[in-house]
Chains A and B, each alone.
Chain A
Amino acid sequence: MIIFSKNKELVCMIGKYLAEVQESLNAFRDAIRYLMENHLDEHFRIIAKKVHQHESHADDIRREIEKFMFGKSLLPETREDILNVIEILDKISNPCEDILSDFILQKTVIIPEIRTDFLELVDISCESSKLIAEAFWDCLGKCRKMDEYNVKIDDNESLGDSLEGKMIGAIFDAELDKVEKIIQRDFVKKLGTICNICEHVMDKLVICGIKRQV
Chain B
Amino acid sequence: MIFILKYLGGFFLGGALGANDCSNVFGTAVSSRMIKYSTAVILSAIFVFLGAVIDGKAGIETLSKGLRNKSSVQVQQSNIDPVRRSSVAVKTVVATSFAAAITVTIMTLLKMPISTSQAVVGAIVGVGLMQKNVNLGGLEKIVICWITTPLGGAFFTIVFYYFFKYFLDKWKPSVFIYDPLMSLLLTVCGCYGAYALGANNVANVSAVFVGAGMMTTMQAACFGGIAIATGVLFFAKPVMTTVGKSIIKLNAFTAFVCVLSHAVTIHIYAEIGVPVSSTQAIIGALFGIGFIKGAHVINYGSLLKVFSGWLFTPVIACALAMFLWIIENLSVNLNGY
Contact = CB atoms under 8 A, between A and B. Distances in A.
A214 B172 contact: no
B253 A74 contact: no
Interface stretch (B91-99, B139-147, B179-187, B269-277): B179-187
A75 B182 contact: yes
Given A73-B183, A75-B34, A143 B172 contact: yes
A10 interface: yes
Contact of A212 (B165, B175, B176): B175
Given A77-B251, A142-B172, A214-B253, A4 B182 contact: no
A163 B32 CA distance: 45
Nearest to A81: B175
A76 interface: yes
Nearest to A10: B176
A174 interface: no
Contacts of B254: 214
Given A75-B182, A75-B252, A214-B253, A4 B34 contact: no
A149 B254 CA distance: 28
Interface string B21-33: 0000000000011
Contacts of B164: 214
Contacts of A8: 176
A75 B253 CA distance: 11
A4 to B, nearest CB: 6
Main secondary structure of the interface of B (DSSP, over half): helix
Given A77-B251, A142-B172, A211-B251, A3 B34 contact: no
A140 interface: yes
A7 interface: yes
A140 B175 contact: yes
A50 to B, nearest CB: 31
Given A3-B183, A10-B176, A140-B174, A214 B33 contact: no
B179 A78 contact: yes
A211 to B, nearest CB: 7
A24 B177 CA distance: 30
Nearest to A140: B175
B2 interface: no
A141 B174 contact: yes
B180 A3 contact: yes
17 contacts: A3-B183, A4-B180, A6-B180, A73-B179, A74-B179, A74-B180, A75-B252, A77-B32, A77-B252, A140-B174, A140-B176, A141-B172, A141-B175, A142-B174, A212-B175, A214-B164, A214-B254
